[in-house]
Amino acid sequence: MLMMNREIKNTLLAVLIFIVVLALDIVTKSLVEQYISIYERVNVLGSFVQLTLIYNQGGIFGILQGYQRFFLIVSIIVFLLLIAYFILEKNKTRIFTVSMGLICAGAIGNILDRITGKPGVVDFIYIGSDEVFRWPAFNVADSSIVIGATLLVIHQLIEEKKRKQQEKRHQ
């Protein structure tokens, strides 16, 4: 049996995560658009977790509404920078690979909404309490970006700790 080197395995893992998360994002948005009316709320876990349909014309979590073209351009630039980062990164750990697959899938999921003629990015997960605080509506792509970015920060912290430990050994 031919053994694949670590870089090929990690690249395949990133591609697999990318495909699965992007497919999940596309399918969930399509189902929401098909079965839920705009601004309708469907209780999932009581009223704390709801499904709704909102077209976000701003950035993540609804910031800067009305700047859809700006966020499209920024999203494409960030996506291209992430691809370059993935290609150039010498130490593609498992956590790095997973984080990049998640972030890239989320970025493309939201970019697709912006370029396919929708009124905005489809957001549909609504969490919180109307009486206390309700988090802005979000989608699978947003969740993927946040989880991936968190993992990327963890990766960087781990790598920095390793680097400092190696410096101490060489002193």
Q: Select which of 25, 113, 130, 142 is catalytic.
A: 142
Burial of residue 22 (number of CB atoms within 10 Å: 0-12, 13-18, 19+): buried
Q: Quote the tokens at residue 62.
A: 């609804």
| Active-site annotation holder among 25, 113, 123, 130 | 123
Q: Is 25 a catalytic residue?
A: no
Q: Could you give the CA distance from residue 147 to residue 77 in angstroms, rounded to a whole number? A: 20
Query: How far is 97 from 7, CA to CA, in rounded Å?
Result: 10
In this structure, what token pair is assigned to residue 137? Answer: 């509506």
Catalytic sites, residue numbers: 123, 142
